[in-house]
Structure 1
Amino acid sequence: MPQQTELRGGGSVPTLPGDPLLDNAVWAALDGPHAHLAERVGRAARYQDGIYAFAALADPADPAAWDDLCTLLGPGTTVRIKPVDRVPDGWRIEGEGEGVQLVDTALRAEPAPEAERLGPADVPEILDLVARTRPGPFLKRTVEMGTYLGIRHEGRLVAIAGERLRLPGWTEISAVCTDPGHRGRGLATRLVRAVAWGIRERGDTPFLHAAVDNAPAIRLYESIGFTLRRRSRIVQVRSAGTTEAGGAL
């Protein structure tokens, strides 16, 4: 039987068995299919500026990996990282949260004929929609991480979904959002199914992440065939170094 992890506000997340790459997905992506989007020093890596504001360690419990990350970032630099249980001395936690990971176990994937592929020219519209719906981090170069699909109404972009982390055998579905005036029409579900269809076509399995307290999103994903796998702590950390005033951090 899978171990049960309690959720804030009730309920639990089963820690399901599976590919250990999923336990450190950002590193698996940067060390694998997304290596061309990475900046790396030894056992630490991060996405290039403007793509995704996360760094990763080959082993978050390895002090040498943290030293590599400090070298990569430079002194006094802030970055998000997961999964992390604790940070070494000299690093400062500036924020933290919790997320859940869900994997495709029974999703019906199918193309969406009304969806169009989005690219760099669509980024201003994507950023506007993301700012109004807050599905999670999306930057000016995030579209370079994979395929993003959108649905328009009278020429205006009203729903999107796409691929973010890509690791061997797995691709994350992300940036799922719908304009408030167009909700209730199943647009997000159609786009998730369409993105998943493309992922499966190349032999990968879809997975995704959600904030632990985003109950509506978690219910939606479970209802269409995703299963909660695990939860993880996300921290925003500042590397060891000096402040602008010259004081030790």
Structure 2
Amino acid sequence: MPVRAEHDRAVLAGLLSRDPVRHAYQLGDLDDFFWPYTSWFRRDDEVALLYHGVDPPTLLAFAAPPRVAALAALLSDLAPVLPPRLYAHLSPGLDAALSPRFRLDGAGAHLKMALTDPAALARVAPAGEPLGVADLPQLRDLYARAYPGNWFDPRMLDTGQYLGVREGGALVAVAGVHVWSPVYRVAALGNVTTDPAARGRGLAAAVVAALCRRLRASVDHVTLNVRADNGPAVRLYTRLGFTPVADYGEYRLTAR
């Protein structure tokens, strides 16, 4: 079966739901909120997503080890029609399928983690209030101080799934989502940070715990991506009940 564009959300949901944690971002992108920014490609049971909501676009392609070869074949055939510049999130071994056409600059190994022990959240006192569009200036300022270069789409504030902690009227800690879909029952945490002057006091744990409790009312799977070498973040999420479930790499791709 050749690679083809896939436009049937029900078909895609069926394929991706076989491994909802590994594919949480892709499942979330089936939601109406993200769907207009997506292009989907399929060969047999393998699926790749090109997300256009960022510049440059981002390619997402994930598979468990037994299925990597089949997904690599899809990517090899897809490579000639991909944009000349893009990001890619790829399961281990898939980079080789794109290297004949692209130069890949790696951003290091990453982990996909999932909330597997919700009881751990009860051991952390939650904190945080919902943030909205009116909070965008303070939020941008916090990211500039505490998390420069992060990927933040202001549209995500419309989900209502961003929480912040304030001290003296200033925003000092925040946790949000990259993906949230009650329809497909998945969420992916993102844009979590604390003001450098307020670190070491448990604010990140408190606001993440509060957000996870909020998310669990609407989804079955709460996930996140984190750099494998970010020891403090991995320890924080582990303490909150998250477990590593898959490895992947992030890359910048430039056509040769």
- Once the two structures are superposed, the pairs formed by residues 40-119 of structure 1 within 5 Å of their partners are 40-43=39-42, 44-50=48-54, 54-57=58-61, 61-65=71-75, 67-68=77-78, 71=81, 73-74=82-83, 76-85=84-93, 86=95, 87-88=97-98, 89-107=100-118, 108-109=120-121, 115-119=128-132
Q: Is the 8 A contact 2:24 2:188 kept in 1?
A: no
- Once the two structures are superposed, the pairs formed by residues 57-206 of structure 1 within 5 Å of their partners are 57=61, 61-65=71-75, 67-68=77-78, 71=81, 73-74=82-83, 76-85=84-93, 86=95, 87-88=97-98, 89-107=100-118, 108-109=120-121, 115-134=128-147, 137-141=150-154, 143-144=156-157, 146=159, 147-166=161-180, 168-206=184-222
Deviation at 1:145, TM superposition (A): 7.6
Deviation at 1:158, TM superposition (A): 0.5
Relative to structure 1, is the Cα distance of residues 187 and 199 closer, same or farther in structure 2, using a 3 angstrom cutoff?
A: same
Relative to structure 1, is the Cα distance of residues 193 and 101 closer, same or farther in structure 2, using a 3 angstrom cutoff?
A: same
Distance 1:227 1:36 in 2: 28
Write out per-residue CA displacement over residues 204-239 of structure 1, whole angstroms, 9 at most, x where no aligned residue. 23222211111111111112222222322222212x
Distance 1:80 1:236 in 2: 6
The count of residues paired between Structure 1 and Structure 2 equals: 221
Report percent identity of matched pairs.
27
1:243 aligns with none
Deviation at 1:99, TM superposition (A): 0.8
SS in 2 for 1:21: coil
- Once the two structures are superposed, the pairs formed by residues 15-54 of structure 1 within 5 Å of their partners are 20-32=19-31, 35-36=34-35, 38-43=37-42, 44-50=48-54, 54=58
Relative to structure 1, is the Cα distance of residues 155 and 208 closer, same or farther in structure 2, using a 3 angstrom cutoff?
A: same
SS in 2 for 1:171: strand
Distance 1:233 1:93 in 2: 11
Relative to structure 1, is the Cα distance of residues 115 and 81 closer, same or farther in structure 2, using a 3 angstrom cutoff?
A: same
1:231 aligns with 247
Relative to structure 1, is the Cα distance of residues 165 and 95 closer, same or farther in structure 2, using a 3 angstrom cutoff?
A: same
SS in 2 for 1:23: coil
Q: Which amino acid is 1:23 matched to? A: R
- Specify every segment of 5 or more residues in structure 2 that has no aligned partner in the other structure, as ranges: 1-16, 43-47
Distance 1:120 1:46 in 2: 27
SS in 2 for 1:26: helix
Q: Is the 8 A contact 1:98 1:212 kept in 2?
A: yes
Write out per-residue CA displacement over residues 121-179 of structure 1, whole angstroms, 9 at most, x where no aligned residue. 33332232223223873234352584111111111111000121346333112222111
Q: Which amino acid is 2:196 matched to? A: P
Structure whose residues are more often helix by fraction = 2
| Cα RMSD after superposing both structures | 3.3
Q: Is the 8 A contact 2:107 2:251 kept in 1?
A: yes
Q: Is the 8 A contact 1:52 1:142 kept in 2?
A: no
Does 2:223 align with 1:207?
yes
Distance 1:52 1:176 in 2: 22
Q: Which amino acid is 1:49 matched to? A: G
Distance 1:118 1:69 in 2: 40
Q: Is the 8 A contact 2:112 2:244 kept in 1?
A: yes
Which deviates more, 147-156 or 30-39?
Answer: 30-39
